């Protein structure tokens, strides 16, 4: 017999709330890990971190239609619920929250959260409405589960900052924590969308991370963003990425562009390889 307790499954808000209320009343710290499923080792790293810091872990799986644009991959986004549930059970997660679209957006639903400023550049410039969809669904998930802490991967770095700001601005009592990106041995950031890559594209994809790391090193050595960004874009195009949507050096918190790095910063990129849009980012920590 395994000593891992059975994974609870909820698809409605009231029984989920009843369970988390019992845990809260017992003084148990609750951690929420929101996902869109198609779980990979990057998600499992979030689950393992959640297990370490919380007494109770809730993982949500919901492919949120409101964060996909009309020409994006909502309908072909990978879905594999049975495998996901087996992975969550093996990871010792307490509860899987699996709402359907009607539960999250019942008829008459008409509220959206807009975060200004932070969402205007980077992915926000290419995915109108995306961060509004993310901020709205995460606010709902947090209000439904009422966790003490919610974990998000740093791979979606702008998303992490947008969610942090949303919770702070709306006084929602949850601590948002980022978890460092998990990478393949060759540096490619783990992503559910990597499974779209052809073998040829998969061989090219790690160039994204090697370029970001080179730029980060050169910034620490005193380099200027403008020249480094131009060389990085040229390198990606040469490798076969097209289009390169953006490559930018930004303040780690406000995401405002920076030219030289004097405080924590990030280098962020989004580029297509064939039909697949890849994003990645690395931190830049200036030498003391």
Q: Is the peptide bond before 284 cis (omega within 30 degrees of 0)?
A: no
Q: Which is nearer to ligand PAF, 159 or 276 (CB)?
A: 159
Task: Note if 43 is an active site residue.
Answer: yes
Q: Which is nearer to ligand PAF, 64 or 144 (CB)?
A: 64
User: Phi-psi bin for 182: left (phi > 0), alpha (psi -120 to 50), beta?
Assistant: beta
Binding to ligand PAF by residue 138, rule CB under 6 A? yes
Number of residues that bind ligand PAF (CB under 6 A): 10
Long-range contacts of 122-127 (CB under 8 A, 24+ apart): 122/158, 122/246, 122/248, 122/250, 122/255, 122/268, 122/270, 123/158, 123/159, 123/245, 123/270, 123/279, 124/158, 125/246, 126/245, 126/246, 126/270, 127/69, 127/72
Considering only residues 50 to 109 of the shown chain, the ones binding ligand PAF according to CB under 6 A are 64, 67
Number of residues that this document lists for the chain: 288
Give me the catalytic one of 20, 31, 39, 43: 43
Binding mask 207-226 for ligand PAF (x = CB under 6 A): --------------------
Considering only residues 147 to 166 of the shown chain, the ones binding ligand PAF according to CB under 6 A are 156, 159
Q: Which is nearer to ligand PAF, 64 or 276 (CB)?
A: 64
Binding to ligand PAF by residue 35, rule CB under 6 A? yes
Q: Which is nearer to ligand PAF, 16 or 36 (CB)?
A: 36
Least distance to ligand PAF from the beta carbon of 78, Å? 12
Q: Which of 32, 57, 113, 137 binds ligand PAF (CB under 6 A)?
A: 137
Q: Binding segment for ligand PAF among 81-89, 95-103, 111-119, 131-139 (CB under 6 A)?
A: 131-139
The rounded distance, in Å, linking the Cα atoms of 197 and 103 is 33
Dihedral of the CA atoms 192, 195, 198, 204 (nearest 10)? 40
**CA 164-170-175 angle, 5° bins:** 40
Q: Which of 7, 34, 46, 176 binds ligand PAF (CB under 6 A)?
A: 34
Q: Which is nearer to ligand PAF, 137 or 250 (CB)?
A: 137
Give contact residues for ligand PAF (rule: CB under 6 A).
34-36, 64, 67, 134, 137-138, 156, 159
């Amino acid at each position: 017999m395994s000593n891992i307790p059975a994974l609870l499954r909820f698809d409605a808000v009231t029984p989920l709330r009843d369970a988390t209320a019992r845990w809260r009343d017992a003084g148990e710290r609750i951690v929420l890990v929101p996902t869109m499923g198609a779980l990979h080792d990057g998600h499992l790293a979030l689950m393992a971190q959640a297990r370490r810091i919380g007494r109770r872990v809730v993982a949500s799986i919901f492919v949120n239609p409101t964060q996909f644009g009309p020409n994006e991959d909502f309908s072909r986004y990978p879905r594999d619920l049975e495998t996901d549930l087996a992975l969550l059970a093996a990871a010792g997660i307490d509860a899987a929250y699996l709402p359907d679209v009607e539960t999250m957006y019942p008829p008459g639903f008409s509220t959206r959260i807009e975060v200004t400023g932070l969402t205007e550049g980077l992915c926000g410039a290419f995915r109108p409405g995306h961060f509004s969809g993310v901020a709205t669904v995460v606010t709902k998930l947090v209000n439904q589960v009422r966790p003490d802490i919610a974990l998000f991967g740093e791979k979606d770095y702008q998303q992490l900052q947008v969610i942090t700001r949303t919770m702070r601005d709306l006084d929602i009592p949850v601590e948002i924590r980022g978890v460092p990106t998990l990478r393949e041995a060759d540096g490619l950031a783990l992503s559910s969308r990597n499974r779209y890559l052809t073998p040829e594209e998969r061989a090219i994809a790690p160039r994204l991370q090697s370029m970001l790391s080179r730029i980060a090193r050169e910034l620490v050595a005193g380099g200027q963003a403008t020249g480094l960004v131009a060389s990085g874009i040229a390198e990606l195009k040469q490798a076969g990425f097209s289009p390169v949507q953006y490559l930018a050096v930004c303040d780690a918190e406000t995401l405002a562009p920076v030219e030289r790095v004097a405080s924590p910063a990030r280098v962020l990129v989004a580029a297509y390889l064939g039909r697949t849009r890849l994003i990645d980012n690395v931190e830049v920590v200036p030498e003391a």
